[in-house]
Chains A and B, each alone.
Chain A
Amino acid sequence: MKIKLTSIMVDDQDKALKFYTEVLGFVKKMEIPVGQYRWLTVVSAEGPSDVELSLEPNANPAGKAFQDAMFKQGIPIAAFEADNLDEEFKRLKELGVVFTQPPTQAGPVAIAICADTCGNLIQLYQPPQG
């Protein structure tokens, strides 16, 4: 068994595709219309065979409530790894991304938290070097 797919709920798939590709820099992998929604996934340009991330509509009220509560509590719902967190922070800030936490050292790991414009907070982290 492998971990090849995970998902994140988004409040609007168009908005999400724009943010996850044009701002974060991921690449669209799948886009299949299903009724009024789409099966929509992205992968990292740096690791196209890594885990696939599905951008799922948060049309289920239970999902909406969970997403909303986590956001208000300032809790990130997903984490993406960066080779150089300071550089990513600078790049994303210039693109207008809102950070609730700047790069902060937490032991051997550096973390930062930003909003994905689709109702989620995302943690970016730089793993320990070496």
Chain B
Amino acid sequence: MSALGTSPTSVPAAAHTDETLVGVSLWKDALRRLRKNRMAMAGGYITVTLTLVSFLGPFLIRATWGYDYDLQNLNYGPRPPSAAHWFGTDFFGRDLLTRVLYGTQISLTVGLLAALVAATIGTVYGAVSGYVGGRVDSLMMRTVDIIYALPYMFLVIVLVTIFGKSLGLLFLALGLVGWLMTARIVRGQMLTLKEREFVVAARGLGVRGWTILSRHLIPNTLGPIIVYFTLTVPTMILQEAFLSFLGLGVQAPRPSLGALINDGALHMAVFWWELVFPGSVMATLLFSLNFLGDGVRDALDPQMRGRT
């Protein structure tokens, strides 16, 4: 992974296929490449649509039919999809569409926040470790190695049991475990960046260490950070779903996609819609996010194209 990242000074070759040699900024060039990637754009559109629908849909449904994610109708019970309940209803007669939309909302929020926490911790940790260097660096990186060797599930489960099963702290637990790779990437970038002329110049001018880090070094590692961030969001969504599947995540009656799938798997022999709808939404969401993340990586870092 150390090959990640385009060097900040090199102007990406804009002319290898078409038009004239005009200097384009890294971001503009990346955006252009992303636009050309049809799968990534499709992934992006689907993600945006799912996000909008999952946040607005529940309001519309409440306004139209009056359903809510925890509104039970025990007389009604589980019924297959119909005009009144597009995704059918669950065991307690709750409208499955509302629950799936609500669950998507929760999954997206938890995934995004957890990835943000992970990216922030990883960036600061990696930047400090790489910039300070020497013994501090090896101590900090050894720590990362050790946490990395611990079983991931062990750490998450322990953190979840420490924090309690609250939704607000779930993303924190996931983020606190998921920052290791970002830290390694940023640190690797830092090691080469800090020897560059512009950093030496800044130091020579008497700029303080923290300012050099936040003004000059971290912005130059943003490419790899964003790339890794976009790939972390689907991972975090998946982790949240795993935890909910195991009963450690979002607590009933609140739905999350993982919890809904768990319910669905229990009843799938009879009430297939309880598995199929949340399962397909989850798969679609992860599929589009992964394609988008892949596209962002290819766009920001053409050398990494096709790698995992």
**A and B held together in a complex:** no
